[in-house]
A and B are shown apart, each in its own frame.
Chain A
Amino acid sequence: MRRKIFRGVVVLAVLGLIFVFWAVWMSGVFHRTLPENLQTGDNEPAARAVATPGAWKEPQFASVIARGEYLARAGDCVACHTARGGEPYAGGLATPTPFGTLYSPNITPDRQYGIGDWSEQDFWRAMHDGIAPGNRLLYPVFPFTHFTKISRSDVDAIFAYLRSLPPAAKPNHPNEMPFPYNQRSTLVFWRALFFRPGQFQPDPEQSAEWNRGAYLVEGLGHCGMCHSAYNALGAVDPNAQLAGGLIPVQNWYAPALNSSNELGLGAWTDDELAQYLKTGVSVRGATYGPMSDVVFHSLQYLSDPDLQAIAVYLRSQPERASPSNKQRLEVSPQLAAELVQQGKQIYVNHCAACHQLDGRGSGLQYPPLAGNPSIAMQPGTNAIRMVLLGGFQPGTKGNPRPYSMPPFGQLLDDHDVAAVVSYIRQAWGNNAPAVSPAVVTRFRQVPVE
């Protein structure tokens, strides 16, 4: 008996060791050599601009810097790597996750606090492999799972641009992660399970435009970081990419980009979608919450061909039944009917002047609510928050004097908010369940960090 136990323990220990070795090997920590096609090409201007620390200053590299700036915009680096009111790219923004709070680091060329001492190889490894100098494994809140698809030339151009920034002597804020997540070594397991360094593989069956869109969406744009659901270990199932999900902790619902039940991009035109991404407004609805952040800091700066490419790629996504289609009922049918009835009067009093009695809104100023997926998607979080908080459309070059919606949180109590949201979720052909006043209570806090 004792012998059997002993043998079992040994077998388990051996299996455990094998798993650990496998994980460490698969995590890529020891893979130092690069495939030939990803190594620095000497003739490539971006590579020459970053080959030595001061090279970027040479006038011949001005266009590389400009390209790097554009690519950094497309990657929305500034949004995470800048604290509110802080110097751009000097880091310090808190990102709360279910595993603790992470603070973005300073990526200006400051030698003490930033990445002024990094080589172009260091930067490439961080972007492509998620490993910083000293074999420091980066937390996947940094989207290296997407950035791994960015070409070497583009990564070099981004690095050249970052080097050209004024150095900010701003110390990094330590992360606030409880044990065991504060141990970066535990990331070898995460990496072994969920990450393979890769490259963007163009689809020869598709147009150049489609492939450009795919490169931007899957790589730099890292759209899937929000528009996908996470598992309990903080990873996205490859099959769930762009299938929509609740952004952890922030509790904004980022809709599926491949389901007609949610954003229903199939029904949009390419131009409508490109306009929405560029300006924050379209006849189908306006951005709000985290998407306004993306439009404000990133998408409004993209070229029209790139925005068209993104639109073409997104609209070509194969239709999938969204896992969030399950219509969870929050309230009894009786209460639901009551809420919807009361909500109608609230709508007439407070909403119809702009959104119209028929829910069709007006132009780019007042988004339609009828057939607007933001209203009907499940959960009803976003619609509840918009009623409570209102807000401005993002101010962009294409919409520099945006319209706004009053915050109704101070005027309407939880029951009234639930009533009017329940009403708009069922009026004019919208078909989503009523929301509960108790849920409204949970979302009264204003989501700014």
Chain B
Amino acid sequence: MRGSLFLALLALFGSGVVFAQSGAPNAESSTFGTSGPDKVSTGLRQRIDGCIACHGPYGQGGGSGGYAPRIGGKPAGYLYHQLQNFRDGYRAYPLMTWMVQYLPDAYMKEIAQYFARQNPPPPQPQVPMASQAALNLGRRLVMAGDPKHGVPACVACHGAALMGVRPDVPGLIGLSNDYISAQLGAFKQNIRRTQAPNCMHEITSRLDGAEIGAVAAWLSAQAVPPGAKPQAAGSIKFPLRCGSIDGNG
């Protein structure tokens, strides 16, 4: 039942792209693709049913309760590092660790590139469950940071449109309030780790719970602009060193 609802929604979003969920499991031909023919993705779609079950065929996110994040269109380097981090225990979500723990690096990279290439339909922004004052606070922190406490603006690293920067910085729009606040909290508690230095830990340790809630509420209420993409590599000078950014850690 829920499956067919899911299909109906997809058909609605589908914009004419053929989506063969279960048609011919052995067919090695890629029956859908949003960026033209691509040899790497040949046959991958059928192999990653385990990913698609929660994150959707375009990486649009969803799963039960909508917690599984939108990964489609996020930069490939970022996605690749997350798969490794789940495998290595740097991120604590047991089901993800379970899924990826015996995957070779090359395959992780291929999966990351697959989702990075996707261009999922823009999700409906969430209706914020926060006061106007909290939303104002969230907006201010995202756009301008809190220089007094050494908190850089989100846009300083995640791009002016907050859609991320290739290859390693993720976009922040199109994610649920629950997901964002859980991640910021996990960074703060050092449960979500990266290669050292863990800059997100440094930043979130300077935020209190209310500020984290405000940032998550404001970000999750923003609409993904149609056709939005991560910024080009090298288009940003990062204000601090992050182990998660190759070549800058």
Contact = CB atoms under 8 A, between A and B. Distances in A.
Interface in A294-349: 295-296, 349
B3 A404 contact: no
Interface in B58-114: 63-64, 87-90, 94-95, 97-104, 106-107, 110
A390 B99 contact: yes
B53 to A, nearest CB: 3
B22 A363 contact: no
Contacts of B63: 410
A362 B25 contact: yes
B109 to A, nearest CB: 11
Interface stretch (A11-19, A31-39, A67-75, A393-401): A393-401
B104 A404 contact: no
A406 B50 contact: yes
Contacts of B51: 404
Contacts of B231: none
B110 A401 contact: yes
B4 to A, nearest CB: 9
B26 A400 contact: no
A366 B25 contact: yes
Contacts of B87: 84-85
A447 B101 CA distance: 12
A298 B88 CA distance: 18
Contacts of A401: 43-44, 47, 107, 110
A426 to B, nearest CB: 24
Q: At the interface, is chain A mostly helix, strand, loop or mixed? A: loop
B25 A392 contact: no
B99 A395 contact: no
B53 A390 contact: yes
Contacts of A390: 50, 53, 99
Contact of A392 (B26, B54, B103): B103
Given A293-B102, A365-B25, A410-B63, A85 B107 contact: no
B151 interface: no
User: For B44, B46, B50, which residue has the most chain A Cβ atoms within 10 angstroms?
Assistant: B50
A401 B87 CA distance: 16
A446 interface: yes
B52 interface: yes
Given A84-B88, A366-B25, A389-B98, A395 B103 contact: yes
A62 interface: no
A85 to B, nearest CB: 3
Contact of A394 (B44, B47, B88, B102): B102
B49 interface: yes
A51 interface: no
B48 interface: yes
Contacts of B101: 448
Contacts of A400: 104, 106-107
A402 B99 contact: no
A1 B150 CA distance: 85
A391 interface: yes
B190 to A, nearest CB: 14
B94 A392 contact: no
B2 interface: yes
Interface of B: 2-3, 21-22, 25-26, 43-44, 46-54, 63-64, 87-90, 94-95, 97-104, 106-107, 110
The 6 A-B residue pairs with the shortest CB-CB distance in the complex, in nearest-first order: A85-B88, A406-B53, A404-B50, A353-B22, A446-B94, A410-B64
Given A84-B88, A365-B25, A402-B107, 7 more contacts: A85-B88, A296-B102, A350-B3, A400-B104, A403-B49, A404-B49, A406-B53
8 contacts: A354-B49, A365-B47, A395-B102, A401-B47, A401-B107, A404-B51, A446-B98, A448-B98
